[in-house]
A and B are shown apart, each in its own frame.
Chain A
């Protein structure tokens, strides 16, 4: 079973719909037992970081998520909340990744919105994906490069397009909105 963590933060129907297009039924849930029992867990998120953290705390999910042992995929804000700290709303995150989420400098247009490719990537999440393939991004804050970075994209500077530590994976882009390349990445995650 694929569990999509439902914590009232953003557009989660599109994530569920992406799995439907792959012929899979993913379940939207905030029930700890269902999340613990799932084979794969998706941690999505759109919106503002400190508000989203409050939502997680209100349901106790902030203590549950770091204890998960099955493959977990954070998407967009989900990825940023898996980091130690976010400048957006000056909030602590869940601390899986020892990185601080930072605001893009205003040298260029912010948000970074649209299709962008990879400068580098590694690991099974990117099987059958090319560096030149574009995926869809929309974000004003970014995760800098660190030891847990497994993919880099360039906008203003290089930033983490994907992270991995143990069973935790995270992507800054929206695989559920990234056409066939996004579908491939979701399938790669499901194959972990």
Chain B
């Protein structure tokens, strides 16, 4: 049976892991390769490395980092942040990334999704969608949530599939950072609207939140960052709990 996946996300700045403290500042959380390897050893199913600086001059640092991650880690990983062209993608995949994640660039130029899918296959194209409810409509936001677009989230997700996306990483801005559970409403709506895997992100605070997402929606994977980094939930503990709830989870 296909298992539900637990994904840990690491934010990267200038080659180091960073994490926010109460949404105010960010501090260095160490070497992303070591942290990723630790999570992999603990049984996380996939890793996402998100370059939050992603300026052109920092690109080389990121590529070098991806090479090291690929050498060290024996599970799939996705790299995102600042990808604007097919050449950017080629560089990351050649360095060893399994998938890439695009967000603002896909909204600005949906053809980019098709170009990447045609050249490297849909399986490596994750489109990250930041969604927020405004005036009772779910809208897509870009530029790290700073800019509202014209897109309704469901329509945009369907567009992404048509353009060749292999997976959708759906982050609820309403829930992100709240630790009061994943946004089950929009997560299930997207799952019903499209026929490719969906990752839920934003709002994870307890083990029960993961169970609820897997039981009440058809989501394929749940992603979290800070609760893992701060040690609030350990991955083995989470996976044991989900298995006890009869959710199909990888335990080897």
> Which residues in A have some Cβ–Cβ distance to B below 8 Å?
10-11, 13-14, 17-18, 20-21, 46-48, 106, 108-117, 130, 132-134, 136, 138-140, 154-155, 174, 176-183
Contact = CB atoms under 8 A, between A and B. Distances in A.
Interface of B: 1-5, 40, 45, 67, 70-72, 74-76, 93-98, 118-124, 166-167, 195-197, 220-221, 250, 252
A114 B252 contact: no
Contacts of A18: 74
A47 B3 CA distance: 23
B197 A47 contact: no
B197 A114 contact: yes
Contacts of A108: 195
A111 B74 contact: no
A13 B250 contact: no
B37 to A, nearest CB: 11
Given A13-B94, A13-B96, A109-B197, A136 B76 contact: yes
A81 B196 CA distance: 24
Contacts of A112: 2
A180 B252 contact: yes
A179 B3 CA distance: 15
Contacts of B124: 11, 46
Contacts of B1: 116-117, 154
A136 B5 CA distance: 11
A116 B166 CA distance: 18
A103 B56 CA distance: 39
A138 B123 contact: yes
Given A106-B195, A111-B123, A17 B71 contact: yes
A132 B120 contact: no
Contacts of A17: 70-71, 96
